[in-house]
Amino acid sequence: MLISSYFIYNSVGAIDERSISTMALISKLAQNIQVGEGEADSLTLSYYTPRFLWILRDFTLEIRDPKGNRITEAEYLE
């Protein structure tokens, strides 16, 4: 991950607890990155760390009201 220009996380379906826990692991790894001696600011680290791209495959969202009935997108936004 440290020598790549992009970090691509490819997940299937909706974002779930497993996806979030995986991202937490990556986040903890990133907190231990140092540039030179001591800690660097976020701008300096951005030059050395890859860009992040999260790809959601096979994801559909069924919009439902609190009672479980399907509603339209306009109804959801209201």
State residue 35's pLDDT score.
64
Is pLDDT of 70 > 70? Answer: yes
Q: How far apart are CA 33 and CA 62, in angstroms?
A: 40
The pTM (predicted TM-score) of the whole model is 0.53
β-pair partners for 12? 57
Q: What pLDDT sits at residue 37?
A: 62
Residue 2 identity:
L
Per-residue model confidence as pLDDT tens digits over 12-59:
887 888 888 888 887 777 677 666 666 566 677 777 778 888 888 887
Higher pLDDT, 71 or 60: 71
What pLDDT is attached to residue 49?
75
* Contact yes or no for 64/70 (Cβ under 8 A): yes
Q: Closest by alpha carbon to 14, among 53, 61, 52, 54?
A: 61
Place of tokens 């497993």: 18
- Domain spans, the chain: 6-77
Give the Cα separation of 24 and 48 in Å (integer). Answer: 20
